[in-house]
């Protein structure tokens, strides 16, 4: 009898070991992969996604957690490994888009579409623009709408708690970039704009990406810094040393236009955008030249 009981115990132990191995080995690999972006299994066009009640995802992700170096939850930029970035660059993306599904542990969270920037067709969902530039940093961005956020409809799903938690657990999440954590600020096609104003007996400065549109005083004086490694930059600082630190992070030969005032101010505010005294201008201009920056000061 004792031998029979011992035999049963041995069998039960073997079954338990097999089950543990199955759970820790097989299931963890397939069901606990964390954040990933998949294409659809049948290559469902974006125009048909909302009409379907169920979407099957492809067998393998097009972007896995291992392909991601960092995910910036402020800018929604994914910095990818070189090989992953090249794979995305080689995707065949038609002008009407190529559907993708953002998943956590293979569970769909939200969907969007890869889009080509040569397309003339608008889209009201989340997009990833197909990259054509092979230069570093290798970054793609989860954008709202195409060709601009004004075409987007609905709530923003990108900071879904499941997504953020998964990226944080994987050690990929950053909440924002600061001037001390970036090696270089991005090049700007239209250069940068520099604004200055006196406040509380100190000179305040804002460096912002150049555009054709007029900026508002509220936008310029906001202290909500924003650094996109691939695009928009807004940095507000106080004092000459601080603006020199920011200028030192600009790429060589970058152009900075220091405006003497607002282009078209309609807001009622006590803040007066203006140039500081000549000595401060000369000090900053000399430092910019040492950094290889073309700093052009507007004549009042």
Domain ranges of the chain: 33-174, 192-297
Residue that wins the pLDDT comparison between 97 and 182: 97
Rg (CA), the chain: 26
Q: What is the pLDDT of residues 113-157, one digit of tens each?
A: 999 999 999 999 999 999 988 888 899 999 999 999 999 988 999
Average pLDDT, the chain: 88
Peptide bond into 163 cis (omega under 30): no
> What would you measure as the largest C-alpha separation in the chain, in angstroms?
104
Asked if residue 19 has pLDDT above 70, the reply is no
Which residue's structure tokens are 């100190």? 202
Q: What is the pLDDT of residue 50?
A: 86
Contact 173, 167 (CB under 8 A): yes
Q: What is the pLDDT of residue 267?
A: 59
Sign, CA dihedral 80-166-160-30, equals positive
Per 3-state DSSP, the chain is made up of helix, strand and coil in percentages (nearest 5) of 30, 30, 45
Asked if residue 165 has pLDDT above 70, the reply is yes
Q: What is the pLDDT of residues 37-91, one digit of tens each?
A: 999 999 999 999 988 888 899 999 999 999 999 999 999 999 999 999 999 999 9
Q: What is the pLDDT of residue 31?
A: 65
């Amino acid at each position: 009898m004792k031998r029979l009981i011992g035999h049963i115990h041995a069998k039960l132990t073997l079954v338990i070991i097999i089950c543990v191995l199955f759970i820790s080995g097989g299931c963890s690999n397939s069901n606990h992969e964390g954040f990933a972006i998949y294409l659809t299994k049948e290559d469902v066009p974006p125009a048909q996604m909302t009409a379907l009640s169920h979407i099957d995802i492809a067998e393998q992700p097009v972007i896995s957690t291992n392909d991601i170096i960092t995910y910036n939850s402020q800018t929604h930029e994914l910095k990818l490994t070189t090989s992953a970035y090249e794979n995305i660059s080689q995707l065949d993306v038609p002008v009407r888009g190529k559907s993708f599904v953002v998943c956590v542990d293979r569970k769909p969270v939200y969907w969007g579409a890869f889009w080509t920037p040569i397309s003339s067709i608008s889209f009201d969902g989340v997009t990833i623009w197909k990259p054509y530039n092979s230069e570093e940093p290798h970054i793609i961005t989860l954008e709202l709408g195409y060709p601009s956020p004004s075409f987007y409809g609905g709530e923003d799903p990108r900071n879904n708690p499941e997504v953020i938690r998964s990226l944080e657990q994987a050690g990929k999440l950053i909440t924002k970039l600061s001037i001390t954590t970036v090696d270089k600020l991005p090049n700007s096609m239209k250069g940068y704009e520099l604004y200055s104003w006196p406040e509380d007996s100190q000179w305040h400065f804002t460096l912002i990406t150049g555009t054709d549109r007029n900026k508002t005083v509220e936008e310029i004086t906001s202290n909500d810094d924003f650094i996109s490694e691939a695009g928009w930059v807004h940095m507000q600082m106080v004092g000459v040393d601080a603006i020199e630190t920011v200028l030192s992070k600009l790429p060589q030969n970058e152009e900075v236009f220091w405006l003497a005032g607002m282009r078209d101010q309609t807001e009622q505010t006590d803040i007066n955008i203006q140039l500081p005294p000549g000595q401060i201008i000369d000090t900053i201009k000399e430092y910019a030249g040492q950094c290889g920056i073309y700093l052009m000061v507007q004549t009042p």
